[in-house]
Structure 1
Amino acid sequence: MKIVRPAKAGTMESNDIYIMVYPNENGNEIQLDSIVLKQFGNQIKKVIMDTLNELEVENALVVAKDRGALDYTIKARVETAIKRACE
């Protein structure tokens, strides 16, 4: 899937994650801000990257602002933002 426009999904409510997706020329990149970054930062990034790989997304900048979301919520928000950003 090719990212053609910026898109977003999610909220800044507790137990949710706000995902913003932008076109990027340097492969897939993740910028993560989380209230649980030290404990779960690597796991959150892994879920985001695995979702991008499953959807065959290349060249996306994902900006994530996490408020304690679980893995399935992260995956759903990333999928929604990607689908909104594609052609």
Structure 2
Amino acid sequence: MKLKVVASAGTLESSDIQVIIEPCDNGVSVELESTVKAQFGEQIENVIRETLKALNVENAKVFANDKGAIDPVIKSRVETAIYRSAQCNDYKWM
């Protein structure tokens, strides 16, 4: 999926994550700030990268500010930011 514009999803509330994604031309970079980075930073970044890969995003700059979100929340916020950035209107809700 090709990203077109800067987009975001999520909040800075407890147990959530704010994800800002923007297009770039040189692969994927992830910048993570988290209140639980020491314990779960690697897992959070893995979820972000796996979600990007699952949606075929090859070039993206991702900034994530985590406040203790669980994996399904991280995944949904990244997916939402990707669809918003790609300006995709044909998302199929399950």
Q: Deviations over 1:41-78 (max 9, x none)?
A: 00000000000000000110010000000000000000
| Equivalences, count | 87
Match in the other structure for 1:77: 77
Matched residue type, 2:21: V
From the CA coordinates, give the structure whose radius of gyration is larger: 2
Matched residue type, 1:85: S
Determine the C-alpha separation between the residues in 2 that align with 1:29 and 1:56. Answer: 15
Match in the other structure for 1:13: 13
Determine the C-alpha separation between the residues in 2 that align with 1:45 and 1:24. Answer: 18
Q: Deviations over 1:3-28 (max 9, x none)?
A: 11000000000000000001111101
- Listed as ranges, the matches of 1:2-81 within 5 Å are 2-81=2-81
User: Unmatched 5+ residue regions in structure 1?
Assistant: none
* SS state at 2:25 partner: coil
Determine the C-alpha separation between the residues in 2 that align with 1:3 and 1:31. Answer: 18
Determine the C-alpha separation between the residues in 2 that align with 1:75 and 1:18. Answer: 11
Scaled by the length of structure 2, the TM-score of the pair is 0.91
CA RMSD of aligned residues (A): 0.6
User: Unmatched 5+ residue regions in structure 2?
Assistant: 88-94
Matched residue type, 2:20: M
* SS state at 2:38 partner: helix
* SS state at 1:50 partner: helix
